[in-house]
C-alpha cells in the first residue's frame, strides 16, 4: 500500500509541534514496516530550508522533487500546493491519502477531486468548517476526546488510534533537577509557568522554545524571562533527550483543549512526573503518572508543584506510575502501525 500523509501546513524542520512530530513518527514506522509512506506539506520559501529546497527544484527542472527524511521516507514540500499536487500524485501514485489535522480541510476536497481516496486523521479540535468539504473514506482520531468532539461537530464516527511514539527518541535514564516547560506561548500556559517561576525562586526552571514566534513576541518573552533569575531559556531542539535529561518535573498548563498533549507521553517514557491542565484529551494521556489541575488556578499549581518537588517519596511514586503508564499496550508502535494499515486497507476495499 502507498500512503500519502498530507498536511496542509508546514512540516519538520520548518514547523515543530505535536502534529508534525506524530506524523514523523508514523511515517518512520510505516517505512520500517515496508509500507511506502510519503509526506506532503507546504513550504516556507524564505528560510534556509525553503531556499535550499526551491534551489534544488529549479536546478532539477522545476518539478517538485522528493526529499528523503527521517528513517528514509520521502517528503514533498511546495509553496503552491494546488498547482503542484497533480504532478506530485503522478510521482507518488498513492492508494490512499491520510489528511492530517482538521484546520484546513480544503486539501481533502482537492485530493478527492483528483481521484485519490482520502481519509482524515483527527489530531486536533480546531474545526474551522461547519461541514466537511469532502467525504472521507474513513476517519481516525488520536484520542477518545477528539473522536467525541468530531462526532458531535460533524455527526460522524471515528476509529480511535492513539498517537504513535518512538520512545527511544525521548527516553533517558538520567534524572534532572529542573522544572521543564515546553513551548512558552499563551495557549500552552505561559502565564501559569511564569507565575510558578516567580513564586518559587529557589526552584530552577527550563523554558524550551516550541512553535515559531514573530520577532516582537519572542523579544517580549525573553525580556520577561530576564527578570526571573531561576529560569533558563533554550532554543527549539531537534533532539529532545537532553531536555528530558534535565527534567525532574514537566509542566503542561495548557489553556486550550489539547487533543492529547504529546509532551506528556514523551516525559513519561523517562518516568518524569507531569503537572497538567485538566482539559481536552490530557487526562487520557496523563493517566496516573502526574496531577491534573485547574488550568488557570495558580494557587493550585503552586501547591502541587511544591508538594511534588519537596516530597521525594511522592515524586518517586508518580515517577513509577508515569513509567508504567507509558508501557500500556495501546501505545505499542507495532500495534498502532498495524491498526492504521488495517483501517486504511479496509476503507479502500469497500
E strand or H helix at 334 = helix 333-348
Interval 180-199: pLDDT, tens: 999 999 999 999 999 999 99
Q: Domains in the chain, please, with CATH?
A: 2-160 (3.40.50.2000), 167-329 (3.40.50.2000)
Q: In a structure prediction context, what are the per-residue pLDDT tens digits for the chain, which is 350 residues long?
A: 999 999 999 999 998 888 999 999 999 999 999 999 999 999 998 888 888 888 888 887 888 999 999 999 999 999 999 899 999 999 999 999 999 988 789 999 999 999 999 999 999 998 888 889 999 999 999 999 999 999 999 999 999 999 999 999 999 987 899 999 999 999 999 999 999 999 999 999 999 998 878 889 889 999 999 999 999 999 988 899 999 999 999 999 999 999 999 999 999 999 999 999 999 999 999 999 999 999 999 999 999 999 999 999 999 999 999 999 999 999 999 999 999 999 999 999 87
Interval 318-336: pLDDT, tens: 999 999 999 999 999 999 9
Characterize the bridge pairing of strands 67-69 and 118-122.
unpaired
Starting at the earlier edge strand, list the strands of the sheet with 159-160.
Answer: 67-69, 73-78, 36-42, 2-6, 96-100, 118-122, 139-141, 159-160
Residue 299 makes CB contacts below 8 A (sequence gap 6+) with none
Starting at the earlier edge strand, list the strands of the sheet with 231-234.
Answer: 231-234, 205-208, 178-182, 247-252, 274-277, 290-293
| The C-alpha cell that represents 308 in the structure block | 511534588
Q: Compute the chain's Rg from CA coordinates.
A: 21
* CA dist., res. 286 & res. 267, Å (int): 10
Do 204 and 232 form a contact (C-beta atoms < 8 A)? Answer: yes
Do 57 and 80 form a contact (C-beta atoms < 8 A)? Answer: no
* CA dist., res. 67 & res. 75, Å (int): 5
* CA nearest neighbour of 211 among 242, 235, 178, 240: 235
Do 143 and 259 form a contact (C-beta atoms < 8 A)? Answer: yes
Handedness of CA 190, 148, 278, 238 (dihedral sign): negative
Model's pTM, two decimal places?
A: 0.92
Do 219 and 289 form a contact (C-beta atoms < 8 A)? Answer: no
* CA nearest neighbour of 37 among 80, 94, 77: 94
Q: What is the pLDDT of residue 236?
A: 87
What DSSP string runs through 200-227?
A: -TTS-EEEE--S---HHHHHHHHHHHHT
| The C-alpha cell that represents 200 in the structure block | 518559587
Amino acid at each position: 500500500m502507498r500512503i500519502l500523509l498530507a498536511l496542509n501546513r508546514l512540516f519538520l524542520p520548518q514547523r515543530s509541534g505535536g502534529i508534525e512530530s506524530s506524523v514523523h513518527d508514523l511515517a518512520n514506522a510505516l517505512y520500517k514496516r515496508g509500507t511506502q509512506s510519503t509526506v506532503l506539506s507546504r513550504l516556507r520559501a524564505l528560510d534556509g530550508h525553503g531556499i535550499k529546497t526551491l534551489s534544488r527544484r529549479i536546478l532539477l527542472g522545476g518539478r517538485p522533487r522528493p526529499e528523503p527524511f527521517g528513517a528514509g521516507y520521502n517528503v514533498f514540500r511546495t509553496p503552491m500546493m494546488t498547482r503542484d499536487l497533480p504532478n506530485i500524485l503522478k510521482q507518488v501514485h498513492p492508494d490512499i491519502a491520510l489528511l492530517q489535522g482538521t484546520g484546513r480541510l480544503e486539501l481533502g476536497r482537492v485530493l478527492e477531486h483528483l481521484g485519490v481516496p482520502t481519509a482524515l486523521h483527527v489530531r486536533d479540535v480546531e474545526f474551522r468548517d461547519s461541514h466537511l468539504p469532502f467525504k472521507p473514506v474513513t476517519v481516525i482520531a488520536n484520542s477518545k476526546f477528539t473522536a467525541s468532539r468530531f462526532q458531535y461537530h460533524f455527526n460522524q464516527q471515528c476509529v480511535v488510534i492513539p498517537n504513535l511514539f518512538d520512545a527511544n527518541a525521548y527516553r533517558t535514564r538520567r534524572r534532572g533537577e529542573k522544572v521543564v516547560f515546553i513551548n512558552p506561548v499563551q495557549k500552552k500556559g505561559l502565564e501559569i509557568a511564569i507565575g510558578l517561576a516567580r513564586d518559587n525562586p529557589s526552584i530552577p526552571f527550563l523554558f524550551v522554545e516550541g512553535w515559531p514566534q514573530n520577532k516582537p513576541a519572542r523579544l517580549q518573552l525573553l525580556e520577561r524571562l530576564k527578570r526571573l533569575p531561576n529560569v533558563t531559556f533554550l532554543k527549539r531542539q531537534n533532539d529532545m533527550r537532553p531536555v528530558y535529561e534535565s527534567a525532574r518535573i514537566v509542566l503542561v498548563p495548557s489553556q486550550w483543549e489539547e487533543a492529547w498533549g504529546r509532551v506528556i507521553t514523551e516525559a513519561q517514557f523517562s518516568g518524569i512526573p507531569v503537572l497538567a491542565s485538566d482539559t481536552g484529551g490530557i487526562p487520557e494521556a496523563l493517566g496516573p503518572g502526574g496531577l491534573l489541575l485547574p488550568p488557570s488556578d495558580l494557587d493550585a499549581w503552586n501547591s502541587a508543584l511544591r508538594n511534588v518537588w519537596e516530597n521525594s517519596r511522592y515524586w518517586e511514586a508518580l515517577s513509577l506510575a508515569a513509567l508504567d503508564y507509558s508501557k500500556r499496550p495501546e501505545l505499542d508502535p507495532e500495534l498502532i502501525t498495524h491498526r492504521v494499515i488495517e483501517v486504511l486497507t479496509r476503507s479502500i476495499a469497500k
